[in-house]
Structure 1
Amino acid sequence: MAPAGAASLRSRGGVALLVICSIVSAVLLIDAAVRADAVTAALLAPWPLLVLWAVYVLGVASRVRATRDGVLVQNLLRTVFVPWARVQQIRMRWQIEITLDDGSLVTCFGGPARRRPQRLGPGRTKEDANGRADDAVAALRKAKASAVNVTPVPPVRRGWDFPAIIALLVLIAWAVTAVLVTRA
């Protein structure tokens, strides 16, 4: 859980896509249960659930979260926690990029992204297509500026999203079991 005052930045539309896919999956599984039976629905269930898992990992779990201590970047199943003292620069290229004190770069796949400039017809004015992305960089810079300096500076921590990996393994085992049951 994020500490108080944590700002979580996600790409747009991920949660909406997950809700739409969840509704479609539920309708399909309920239809399978009504037309056939619950066992058939249970044998079909891993396939839409694998799609939901992929939508969740790509659109919802991947994010950038600023806290008092540092910034947590989750790119798909990989997580990186960078203490603010290790952050040298925050900039927007196509995604948010964080340059660390050792020169390495952390690219934030799950945060807001810069969009291509829109083509304008005659008589139209330029709209700010990248306002949300620029606001995200400003929010991260503000969080870094208000951070409390901790000495000694903690190291950058890299890890995995184990709950998502365990869920994937369960879904794969369920899918393999469903295939074996239907082939028997």
Structure 2
Amino acid sequence: MTTRFAAAGCTIVLALALTGCSNATQKEFGLVANPPDAFQVGTQAPLSLPPELGQLPAPNPGQPRPQQVDAAKAGAEVLDPENALTPAPTVASPGAQALLQQAGPTPPTGIRAQVNQNALVASKPPGFVSSLMGNSPTPSPTVNAPAEERRLQENEALGHPVTQGASPQNSNTSPTFLDRLANLF
């Protein structure tokens, strides 16, 4: 009877000891999931069939498949600074050149920085004092869609290009508190 209690007590003590073990010990005993390393998982190359089955190369036991890509080597090639700094090809294909010609004139230099700056300014709410004094940055104007449609229809009717004439724009500024106060008097 006492041996049963001793065996049960040892089992309980052993179970408590295992739950308090380090993470490595828990992995060894299978108490924690052991997922594969995400950096070592790679895609398998698709199977290819040679034109004639009689020309299959002899297999090399123990060697990796010739079309298989090593995940570690592919990752190292992606992270290599030489690959990141390699310039894009400067010569465009005839199809790419035709597409660029149909897209219209080249945009001005620095347009991306200007668009990002405008978006940053528009996304920040003005401070309390700035909104009272009217010192907040003015938002960019937007195109007045009905007036622009009329302008495009007139250009089409007259045979002018769509780029002729300025696009009508709406002002996105709202009067400040002090402007509204001055308009009351």
Output the TM-score relative to the length of structure 1. 0.24
- Kindly name which structure, 1 or 2, has the bigger radius of gyration based on alpha carbons: 2
